[in-house]
Amino acid sequence: MAVRSTAAPPTPWSRSLAEAEIHETAFVHSFSNIIGDVHIGANVIVAPGTSIRADEGTPFYIGENTNIQDGVVIHGLEQGRVIGDDSNEYSVWVGKNASITHMALIHGPAYVGENSFIGFRSTVFNSRIGAGCIVMMHALIQDVEIPPGKYVPSGSIITTQQQADRLSDVQDQDQEFAHHVIGINQALRAGYLCAADNKCIAPIRDKNAKSYTSNKLNVIEIGRSSEVASNSLGAETIDQLRYLLEQGYKIGSEHVDQRRFRTGSWTSCKPIEARTLGEAVAALETCLADHSGEYVRLFGIDAGRRRVLETIIQRPDGAVQASTSFKAPASQTNGSYNGNGSSYSNGSGSGRLPAETVQQISQLLAGGYKIGTEHVDERRFRTGSWNSCKPIESTSANEVVSALEECIESHQGEYVRLIGIDPKAKRRVLETIIQRPNGQVAPSGSQRSVVSSSSSSSSGTATATSTRLSSEVVDQVRQVLAGGYKLSIEHVDQRRFRTGSWNSTGPISANSERDAIAAVESTLAEYAGEYVRLIGIDPKAKRRVLETIIQRP
C-alpha cells in the first residue's frame, strides 16, 4: 500500500507529534498528504492530490468505506470541536460510506454523517451535515446544521439555519447515485491496491503481453483474508459484488442478444440466492457462460425492489467490462439521475411529469417558495381565466408531485400550469404549463414559464420576434427582464448531460429585450447539437428564479 503521511509538527497548541492511524485495507495514494492524528478506517480510498492535515484542529476521523477524492482538502481550526458518533470530540468527523468528491473542502469544526455525499468544489465549514445528505456541486455550507436526509442543490449558499431547515428531502435516486459513487471508488481502491502488489499485477501484465485482446484474465481478488478467484470476472466486479452483499442488497443479472439490445428487452438469468461472495461469483460466471455472445448486466436490488448499481459486465464480443463503466439505474426501471439530484422517471417520483418539471419543483422548494397549480379549458385559455387546483401546503417533493398529478388527472383535456410563489413578497416567480388539452405533458423546452411581478398571467404576444426561439421562450426572456432579473445561458453536451456538468457562458449584458434575444440566439447557434438552458437570476438574493431547457441535441 502506498502511504504518504507524517507526524503533526510541534506547534504552540499541539506538541503531541501524533501520527495517522491507517487501516491495512485502506488505500492512500503516494501523491496525497496525511498529517497528524488522523484515523482512516477500513476500505477507505484517499485519491491523488488530497491534503488531510490535522496539524491545527485535531483529531480527524474518516469512517470505513468512505472515498476521499482527488484534490480534497480537510483541515480544522484550533478552536471548536464536534461530537462524533463514538461520543468523542473531533475537529473533523466523516462517517462511514461517505463520498467527499473532487476539490471539496471540509474545514473543521465539521461533521459529515454516514452515507453522505459532498459534491465537487463544495465547502463545509463550522457545520454538521446529517446522515444520508446529498450536497451537490459548488455549494457553501457554513455555521448551520443540515438535518439528516436533506438535499442541497448545486450552487446553494446555506449560511442560516432557516435556509437549512427549508431544504427538500433526498429522493431514492439520489441515494442510489451516492451508492453508485461508493461502488465505483471501491473498485478503484481494489485496482490501486492490485497495481501496487506485484503478485496481483504480474499475471495481468503477463497475459496482456501475450494477447492484448484476451478477456479471460485470471484475476485474484486482493486485500482479503478469504480470497475469491474468477476466470471471467475482474477484481473490480468482484469488489462490486462484495459491496452489494455487505449493504444487504440482493444480486440480479440479465442478458439480451444484439437484436433485442436496442429495444431494451432484457431477460433474467437464473435467480441468484447467494449468501456468500463465492456463491455470487459462481452464479454470475454461470450466467456469462450460458450467454456468451450476448450482453449481460449485473445489478443490486434493495428492500424496496428498486435497482441500484446497474452495469453491463459482458458484451457480444466477449469482453467483460470493468466496474468503472457502471451507470446509474436505467430509466425504464427506476429513474435516471441527471446530476442535479432531481430527475425522475417511471417508478420513482412521477410517471406523468417530465424530469425537468420535477427538477423545477425541487429547486422551488429548496429556495423556500410555495407551489401552486391552476387549470383552464381551451375556451377560457385565451382570456387568461385560470382556476386554482387544490392548494398545496406540503414541502415534500414527492407530495407536491402527487398533488400535481392529481390536478392533471382531474382536469384531463385542459391546460394545467405549475406556479412558484414567493411567500414573503407574495408574488409569482414561475408560471409554466405542464399539460395541454391533448393530454400531452409539456417538456420544459416548450413550456410557458414566466417570472412576473404580479399574480396575473401574461398572455400577450412578444414584442420582439425570433427565428430560432419559440414564442414561449421569447416571452420568458421578456418577463425575466421585466422583473428586474438577470439572464444567463448554460450548455452541456450529451455525455456530460447525465452528470449535470453544465457550463456557463456568463451573464447576458443586454440593454433591451431585442439584444437579449439576439444573445440567446447566438448561443444556440454556437452550441448546436448540445443542451442549452435559460437561467433567470435574482441579483439581490443571488439565486436562480428560472431554469428551463430551450434546446436539445
pLDDT in tens, 385-396: 788 898 888 877
Q: Give the Cα separation of 302 and 173 in Å (integer).
A: 12
Mean pLDDT of 298-309: 78
The pLDDT value recorded for residue 347 is 35
pLDDT in tens, 141-186: 999 999 999 999 999 999 999 999 999 999 887 888 888 888 888 8
H/E element, 482: helix 471-482
pLDDT class for 204, splitting at 50, 70, 90? low
pLDDT in tens, 237-292: 787 888 888 777 888 899 888 878 766 678 888 888 877 888 888 888 888 888 88
Q: Give the Cα separation of 162 and 144 in Å (integer).
A: 9
Q: Give the Cα separation of 534 and 542 in Å (integer).
A: 16
The pLDDT value recorded for residue 101 is 95
Residues 6+ apart with CB under 8 A from 253: 268, 269, 272, 283, 284, 287, 296, 297, 298, 299
Is the predicted pLDDT of residue 218 greater than 80, yes or no?
no
**Is the separation of the CB atoms in 109 and 87 below 8 Å?**
no
Instruction: Please report the beta strands in 4-142, taking only residues with DSSP state E, as ranges in sequence order.
Output: 5-6, 21-22, 27-28, 33-36, 38-40, 45-46, 51-54, 60-62, 67-68, 73-76, 82-83, 89-90, 92-94, 99-100, 105-112, 117-118, 123-129, 134-135, 140-142
The pLDDT value recorded for residue 241 is 82
198-210 helix and 172-195 helix, angle to the nearest 10 degrees:
90
Q: Give the Cα separation of 458 and 441 in Å (integer).
A: 21
H/E element, 513: helix 513-526
Q: Give the Cα separation of 495 and 147 in Å (integer).
A: 33
Least confident of 91-100, 109-118, 155-164, 529-538: 529-538
Q: How far apart are the first and last CA of the chain?
A: 45
Q: What is the DSSP string of 168-183?
A: EEPPHHHHHHHHHHHH
Rounded to 5 degrees, φ, ψ at 395 are -110, 10
Instruction: Domains for the chain: give ranges and CATH numbers.
Output: 5-170 (2.160.10.10), 212-325 (3.30.190.10), 355-551 (3.30.190.10)
Mean pLDDT of 297-317: 79
Higher pLDDT, 256 or 344: 256
Q: What is the DSSP string of 395-464?
A: --HHHHHHHHHHHHHHTTTSEEEEEEEETTTTEEEEEEEEE-TTS----GGG---B--SSSSPP-SPPSS
Q: Where in the sequence numbering do the catalytic residues fall?
A: 56
Q: Which of 18-22, 101-105, 508-512, 522-526 has the largest mean confidence?
A: 101-105
Determine the number of helices (DSSP H) and then strands (DSSP E) in the chain. 12, 37
Report the chain's mean pLDDT, rounded to a whole number: 78
Q: Cell 461502488 appears where?
A: 183
pLDDT in tens, 429-472: 777 788 888 655 544 433 333 343 333 333 333 345 555 777 77
- Scanning 60-119, the segments in alpha helix (DSSP H) are none
Cell numbers standing for residue 435: 399539460
H/E element, 152: strand 150-152
Q: What is the DSSP string of 232-263?
A: SS-HHHHHHHHHHHHTT-EEEEEEE-HHHHTT
The pLDDT value recorded for residue 343 is 35
Is the predicted pLDDT of residue 226 greater than 50, yes or no?
no
Is the predicted pLDDT of residue 235 greater than 90, yes or no?
no
DSSP classification of residue 325? G
The pLDDT value recorded for residue 115 is 92
CA distances from 416 to 352, 362, 537 (A): 13, 19, 25
